[in-house]
Structure 1
């Protein structure tokens, strides 16, 4: 892996307390938060740009609705005062948030994406970033998803959903690495 750009932004997607809601089901990658924390610490130490993305749901029943505890950032991954926060209402962090402009104003071309849900907000944001011309890297072991039932009623294990989502991204939109590889090239 080539070295990470000096101004590469770490984009932490939807690491909110609501992701622990048991109604979301069984998840994969129980060490994801630890890997995200390792990358966050490295980015803070190097004084590289960090962007925290928070999902703000429009649904009254959602744990991600403003004012609900689930909407808040997880305590160990809470943004510092100088770190940029993006609030979104759809899975894609580029959609109607000003994120693209924020990155261009700072001449940031490379993004390291971590967070949840792999096949939802992570994938849609990485796809948009790749389509917009950013050099997108996804940290495979710093993301997770949940078991998912497809339209035919078949239950897919979170591990399989995660692997397929990352494979989709690696085809055209992003490069996929492990946290250790990113830290080694940091």
Structure 2
């Protein structure tokens, strides 16, 4: 797998509020370890890193600004500002990181080196929380905007969820559905953390 020298790592909503029992059962206990490994490699190689934080507008939300739940998890916070490359904090109150402040699309285009082919904005790697929510929404929009979106499925997690008509889906089922929709629909390439780490190392 080829990872561009200016590929951006987009770390979405890795916040303490997602550790609360409010969300229920989660999948992929290795998500945090894989996210940390990707951040480390991106920072060591000087590639751009985007830290995204969800500032919920719902009173009492586990992600409400001004509460501990709004803070990044410690392993993310201790890495912020430690990289050799460009870095930005994007805050949002909706699912897509492209609808936050500052404008993510504009920032990504500003840090791109060498330019991309016409109609193609470059490469982004999406990790974080939740697989089928903010991560998936950001990936779909990134694909629509013309980015080459990589989606390392083992560097994210989600939770069991209840839907309409009494239907429920486990976190694993939701993760699989997201992977099939994104990859099969060509919004993103669903890959593994190992794939991305190998590609990033070989490009240096």
TM-score, scaled to structure 1: 0.96
Q: Is residue 110 of structure 1 aligned with residue 115 of structure 2? A: no
Structure 2 counterpart of 1:95: 99
Report if the CA contact (8 A) 2:90-2:100 is conserved: no
Q: Of residues 123, 131, 152 in structure 1, which corresponds to 2:144?
A: 131
* Partner secondary structure for residue 172 of structure 1: coil
Cα deviation code 1:73-130 (max 9, x no counterpart): 0000115236310000101000143001001112261100000111100000000000
105-114 or 10-19: which moved more?
Answer: 105-114
Cα deviation code 1:27-70 (max 9, x no counterpart): 00010000001101111110110000000011111111110000
For 2:145 and 2:53, the matched residues in 1 are separated by 21
For 2:32 and 2:72, the matched residues in 1 are separated by 12
* Partner secondary structure for residue 90 of structure 1: coil
Offset, 1:155: 2.1
Structure 2 counterpart of 1:36: 35
List runs of 5+ in structure 2 lacking aligned partners. Answer: 113-120
List runs of 5+ in structure 1 lacking aligned partners. Answer: none
For 2:5 and 2:130, the matched residues in 1 are separated by 27
Q: Is residue 80 of structure 1 aligned with residue 85 of structure 2? A: no
Q: Of residues 184, 190, 201 in structure 2, which corresponds to 1:176?
A: 190
* Partner secondary structure for residue 99 of structure 2: coil
* Partner secondary structure for residue 136 of structure 1: strand
Offset, 1:152: 1.4
Q: How does 1:9-24 map to 2 (within 5 A)?
A: 9-24=8-23
Q: Is residue 146 of structure 1 aligned with residue 187 of structure 2? A: no
* Partner secondary structure for residue 122 of structure 1: helix
RMSD, aligned CA: 1.2
Q: Is residue 158 of structure 1 aligned with residue 171 of structure 2? A: yes
* Partner secondary structure for residue 36 of structure 2: helix
TM-score, scaled to structure 2: 0.88
